[in-house]
Amino acid sequence: MAARSIASLSVSFGLVSIPVKLYSATEATRTISFNMLHKGCGSRLKQQYLCLKEEVPVAREDIVKGYEFAKDQYVMFSPEELKALEEAGTHAADIAEFVPIESVDPIYFDKAYYLGPDKGGAKPYALLARALRESKRCALGRWGARGKQYIVMIRPIETDQGDALVMQQLLYAAEVRPIKEIDIPKTDVKDAELKLAQQLIEQQASDSFNPESYTDDVRKRIEAAVQKKVEGQEVTLAEAPETGGAQVIDLMEALRASLGKKKPVAAATGAKPAETRKPPKRAQAPEPAPKKAAKK
């Protein structure tokens, strides 16, 4: 089934404007959602907004939006005022600069879209895609849509049909927490440990990422449970696996064990080695009481 475009826009850099079609790169419909029901009769529930002061339901037409500038103090905005503050949709992604692809940390990646050439845009589309791929750069710019302004990154990808373009919506700097907020103590790494870790990485290395090799096991369980419920079967809950406390092991021994050399042992300064659980001893039967001598 051919993908359907969700919008048309133009990608502009310099005096060049490329008409393109926008396609969603992900499927939100794949998410399994549950509805809120009344436990007694199984009917759908309707959400209501209650006034905390008067404790009465409020109709939708009597609801306005407000911003809390201090504790329990708000300034109200009408729908017209909020509409005037929105970014006007320009149907254009204006490129501001070209940067090396590796300079954009994936932590800034948000929603992704595929770009396809629109009528009259096949040649400049192919030109931009190939130029970006060969220069190992991506384009950064702005895109106004749905009342908001987004930073976008346009990057090339190779497909069976040739070079293509992906428009990656990016997060703003204020939306990404700096890593310095995390306490990471400075620790020395020994050369021997580093060598074993690198060997382990090489042992489990692959030439490329194959997304088909990873499946959503939780989704499969939910789908199976839903089907059983539909068919009138009881759904039994699986027992949670027992999890013991984490053992402190010697790093070198753990690396060697991961490489298939030997089993890890507990660190000398850490916890004691886990004792092998012995089978419970059977209770011994009591010895029979001595028989009394028969009287003559």
Element (H, E) at 114: strand 109-117
Q: Which of 262, 240, 238, 230 lies closest to 249 in space, CA to CA?
A: 262
Q: List the CATH number of the domain containing 116.
A: 2.40.290.10
Q: Residue 115 in 3-state DSSP?
A: strand
For 92-129, how does the pLDDT look when each residue is reduced to its tens digit (9 = 90+)? Answer: 888 999 999 999 999 999 999 999 999 999 999 999 99
Residue 9 domain-assigned (yes or no): no
Which range marks the domain in which residue 123 is found? 90-175
Mark residue 161 as left, alpha or beta (left: phi above 0; alpha: psi -120 to 50; beta: remaining).
Answer: alpha
Residue 234 domain-assigned (yes or no): no
- Number of structural domains found in the chain: 1
The predicted model scores a pTM of 0.67
> Where is pLDDT greater, at 293 or 193?
193
Residue 52 domain-assigned (yes or no): no
Contacts of 13 (CB under 8 A, 6+ apart): 94, 95, 128, 139, 141
Length reported for the chain: 296
Residue 129 domain-assigned (yes or no): yes
- Least confident span in 66-70, 166-170, 172-176, 211-215: 211-215
Residue 48 domain-assigned (yes or no): no
Q: What pLDDT does residue 243 have? A: 54
Residue 128 domain-assigned (yes or no): yes
